[in-house]
Copies of this chain bind each other. A is one copy, B any other.
Amino acid sequence: MKFPKIPMAAINRLSIYIRALEELEEQGTKVISSERLAKQCGVNPAQIRKDLAYFGEFGVRGVGYRIEDLIREIKEILGLDRTWNIAMIGVGNLGSALIRHGNFIKHGYVFAAAFDIDPHKIGKRLPNGLVIHHIDDLEKVVKECDIHIGVIATPASAAQSVANQLIIAGVNGILNFAPAQIQVPECCHVENVDFTIKLDSIAYHLSTSGT
C-alpha cells in the first residue's frame, strides 16, 4: 500500500462498486472477478483493480474478490464502518422528502436534527420524530446531537449564510442542494447536487444527436 494522491473519481467509483457488490451478495454470490464486476458497473476491469490498489490488496490471484470481505474493506476505506449524523437545514419541499426517505439510514446516515427559519415550522415534529429547530440554535443543537454533516435545502439566497453557520458550529461536511456556489474554508468539504446541470447535459446531447 503506497500513498499516491487518489483521484476523486476513484472514490466515487468505490460507492458504485459497493452498491453492485451488495446486490450480488443478496443474490448469494460469494466471489467475483474484476471483469464481471466491471461489466455490472459499466467500467474497465483494470480500473477496478487500480482503484482498489490505491488502498491495498483485497483479492485472491486466480480467483477474484470475496464479496463479503470486499464490501467490508471498501466501507472501511470510505469511512462507512460507522454511522454519520446529519442535520437538515431547510425543511421545505425537498428537505422533508429527503428526511422521509428511508434509504439513507440503510447506508449509515442518520437524520439527527432539522432546522428552518420559518416561525410556523419551528417546534413542529416530523414523521420520524425530529423536532424542527430554529436556525439560530444550530450551534447548540449541533453540539448536543453530535452532527457531522449538514445538508443545505434552503433557497439559494440563504445557502452561503447557512454554510457559514454550519462551519462556525464545527460541521466540516456539507451536501448542498441549493443552486449556489458556496465558499468554504479548506477544512470543509462541500458536495453540490444540482439537477438542472444534469438536465442541461441531457438537453445538450439531445440537441446534438439530432433528436
Chain A contacts to B: CB under 8 angstroms: 8, 11-12, 14-16, 18-20, 40-42, 77-80, 84, 86, 93-94, 96-98, 100-101, 103-104, 107, 109, 148-149, 172-175, 179, 181, 187, 189, 191, 193-209, 211
* Residues of B with C-beta under 8 A to A209: 172, 187, 189
How many copies, total? 2
Which of B41, B103, B202, B206 is the one whose CB lies under 8 Å from A196? B103
| Extra inter-chain contacts (11) besides given A93-B97, A149-B199, A187-B209, CB under 8 Å | A77-B204, A78-B200, A78-B207, A79-B203, A84-B199, A84-B203, A94-B101, A104-B195, A109-B196, A149-B203, A189-B206
Give min CB distance, A153 to chain B, whole Å.
10
Known contacts A77-B204, A100-B93, A207-B78; A191 and B198 CB within 8 A of each other = yes
CA distance A209 to B18 in the complex (A): 22
| Contact (Cβ within 8 A) A94 B93 | no
| Contact (Cβ within 8 A) A12 B93 | no
A-B contact pairs, 24 of them (CB 8 A): A8-B201, A11-B201, A12-B200, A12-B201, A16-B197, A20-B181, A40-B181, A78-B207, A79-B203, A79-B204, A79-B208, A80-B203, A84-B206, A86-B199, A98-B195, A103-B179, A103-B196, A104-B196, A109-B196, A173-B205, A175-B195, A189-B202, A189-B206, A191-B201
